[in-house]
Structure 1
Amino acid sequence: MQKIDPVTLHGKYVTLEPLETAHEAALVEAVQDGELWNLWYTTVPRPEGVGAEIQRRLALQEAGSMLPFVARSNSTGQVIGMTSFMNIDHSLPRLEIGSTWNRRSAHGTGTNPDSKYLLLRHAFETVGCVAVEFRTNWLNHQSREAIARLGAKQDGVLRSQALTPEGVLRDTVVFSILALEWPAVKRNLEYRLGKAR
């Protein structure tokens, strides 16, 4: 399989656009909504680090291991955050959905499950993935619960798997959805999105 081409994905609540350097100002404004970089259990760039994070993701895209997106609210037109296909294994194919953050005012608006729905649908129905993975810090209970609500199953916990920006070893929880599980997960997400605000 070749690189996954950048694509724009349109949903009910959110549109995912290929990340570009031109998104920097909008992402700086988004990350300031709620000062999410202060959350110790997740990694969100500080305003002055957004440009470097964009360059990091675009370099990984060029290398073929990541396909980064910005998320834009359909109701407001605002850029609300970032997400990515990452750790792409083109031979299977298999990938991880991660490096996701959204401005605080977008939390609970349906944009995050809609974003995951769009990414999962593209991964399984267009790319042909055999599995899609999610990873999060063991201590990030909000993220773990959100991943489980998607219909992902916990594969296990990788103990002392990564260093946080502060240099603390973290345990990483690994979840996945298999291609054969996608039809049921898709039905559940479509039901949820119909009920979201």
Structure 2
Amino acid sequence: MNPAKVLVVTVLAGTLSIGAALFGERWFAKQDIDLSGRGDDGRIATLPDLRLPDLSGQEIASNAWGGKVVVLNFWATWCPPCLREMPMLDELQRGVDAGELQVVGIAIDAREAVERFLAENQVEYQILLGDADTVALSRRLGNRTGGLPFTVVFDPLGRRVFSHTGEITADLVRARILPLLDQETG
């Protein structure tokens, strides 16, 4: 084959390949198919299937929170910002119908430390015990630095709608969580 024919065949094959790839990408986008199970930013886009123990050792599964706004808050007893935001999260849980909201504190800490802390600082929301796999999960949920506290919020359909590394504020609760609950934002 002469070099001109090789060049034409190569360009034609390349053009067809690129065209097929572009068509496929657009087709999948129109079908709203997520082949990876992740959002556009690579983070987990839906409430994961969690199964973690509470302080009594009972395993709690995330499917128990179906149909509710879910606030997962990763924390530790040795983390001052974590401890500062806990009263606000407790107030949030107490102020909203339990059928609409579930705040879940996931302690990245030793069971004994969590038990001592909660004996002196009672909270109304659910506290579960995390481990190394739970820390890895927090990273897949958007906690790039692995810092604490880390909060991620899911809407009633289980879609991740917000995540924040660091202490959350009342302003963030008003702006990002209360609208999901049809509560006053003022």
- TM-score category, normalised to shorter length: under 0.3
Structure label with greater radius of gyration: 2
Q: Which has the higher contact order (CA 8 A, sep 6+)?
A: 2
When you count strand as a share of all residues, which structure comes out higher? 1
